[in-house]
Amino acid sequence: MTINRRNFLKKSAVTSAGIGVATIIPAELWATGTAPSDKVNVGLIGCRNHGYTILRNHLEYDDVNCVALCDVDSNILNEKADDLKKNYNQHPTLYADFRKMLDQKDIDAVIIGTPDHWHCIQLVYCLQAGKDVYVEKPLANTIAECNIMVAASRYYNKVVQVGQQQRSNQAFKESIGMIREEKIGTLRKVNIWGNFNYGLGSIPREDEPVPGGVDYDMWLGPAPERPFNRNRFHGSWRHFWDYGGGLMSDWGVHLVDMGLWAKNLTGAPELVMTWAGNISKEIRQRDSFDTMTVVYPKEDYVINWDMTAGIEQGPYEMLYGVAFIGEKGTILTNRYGYRVIPEWDNNLREHKTDAKQVTGIRDAHSLHVRNFLDCIKSRETPVCPPEIGRAAALHVHIPNIAARVGEPMLIWDDSNSRFTNSSKANELITPEYRAPWTLPKIG
Strand partners, 277: 291
Measured distance CA(107)–CA(160) in Å, rounded? 15
Stretch that binds ligand NAD, among 112-120, 293-301, 322-330, 390-398 (CB under 6 A): 112-120
> Taking the complex as a whole, how short is the minimal distance between the CB of residue 223 and ligand NAD, in angstroms?
10
Check binding of 221 to ligand NAD (CB under 6 A). yes
Candidate list 92, 115, 252, 310; residue touching ligand NAD; CB under 6 A: 115
Nearer to ligand NAD, 163 or 440 (CB): 163
Helix (H) or strand (E) holding 386: helix 386-405
CA 376 to chain centre: 20
Candidate list 218, 273, 411, 439; residue touching ligand NAD; CB under 6 A: 218
Check binding of 242 to ligand NAD (CB under 6 A). no
Nearer to ligand NAD, 342 or 389 (CB): 389
For strands 409-413 and 271-277, give the pairing.
antiparallel
Stretch that binds ligand NAD, among 48-56, 167-175, 317-325, 420-428 (CB under 6 A): 48-56
Write the DSSP symbol of residue 201. -
The contact pattern for ligand NAD, residues 338-357, with x = CB under 6 A and - = no contact, is --------------------
Binding residues for ligand NAD, how many (CB under 6 A)?
29
Stretch that binds ligand NAD, among 41-49, 189-197, 261-269, 285-293 (CB under 6 A): 41-49
Measured distance CA(147)–CA(120) in Å, rounded? 9
Neighbour tally for 181: CB within 10 Å? 8
Enumerate residues 6+ apart whose C-beta is below 8 A from 79: none
Q: Which of 386, 347, 342 is nearest to 161 (CA)?
A: 386
Stretch that binds ligand NAD, among 30-38, 47-55, 283-291, 410-418 (CB under 6 A): 47-55
Peptide bond before residue 386 is cis, with ω within 30 degrees of 0: no
Q: Is 443 exposed, middle or buried (0-12, 13-18, 19+ CB in 10 A)?
A: exposed
Nearer to ligand NAD, 114 or 417 (CB): 114
Enumerate residues 6+ apart whose C-beta is below 8 A from 417: 18, 19, 20, 143, 144, 147, 429
Residue type, 177: G
Measured distance CA(42)–CA(90) in Å, rounded? 11
Check binding of 240 to ligand NAD (CB under 6 A). no
> Taking the complex as a whole, how short is the minimal distance between the CB of residue 170 and ligand NAD, in angstroms?
16
Residues 1-40, interacting with ligand NAD (CB under 6 A): none
Report phi then psi at 187, rounded to 5: -80, 125
> Taking the complex as a whole, how short is the minimal distance between the CB of residue 88 and ligand NAD, in angstroms?
18
Check binding of 45 to ligand NAD (CB under 6 A). yes
Nearer to ligand NAD, 237 or 241 (CB): 237
Measured distance CA(138)–CA(163) in Å, rounded? 8
Check binding of 433 to ligand NAD (CB under 6 A). no
Check binding of 324 to ligand NAD (CB under 6 A). no
Residues 138-177, interacting with ligand NAD (CB under 6 A): 163, 165
Q: Which of 103, 42, 94 is nearest to 71 (CA)?
A: 94
Nearer to ligand NAD, 43 or 399 (CB): 43
Strand partners, 351: 344
Handedness of CA 272, 146, 232, 114 (dihedral sign): positive
Nearer to ligand NAD, 182 or 217 (CB): 217
Nearer to ligand NAD, 219 or 338 (CB): 219
Candidate list 5, 19, 92, 116; residue touching ligand NAD; CB under 6 A: 116
Check binding of 230 to ligand NAD (CB under 6 A). no
**Strand stretches in 196-301, DSSP E:** 271-277, 291-297
Residues 197, 199, 205, 206, Cα dihedral to 10°: 180
Candidate list 70, 143, 258, 376; residue touching ligand NAD; CB under 6 A: 70
Candidate list 19, 68, 72, 323; residue touching ligand NAD; CB under 6 A: 72
Nearer to ligand NAD, 66 or 340 (CB): 66
Check binding of 136 to ligand NAD (CB under 6 A). yes
> Taking the complex as a whole, how short is the minimal distance between the CB of residue 291 and ligand NAD, in angstroms?
21
Check binding of 219 to ligand NAD (CB under 6 A). yes
Handedness of CA 39, 43, 48, 54 (dihedral sign): negative
Enumerate residues 6+ apart whose C-beta is below 8 A from 310: 197, 199, 200, 280, 282, 290
Residues that bind ligand NAD (CB under 6 A): 45-51, 70-73, 76, 98, 113-116, 118, 136-137, 163, 165, 218-219, 221, 234-235, 237, 250
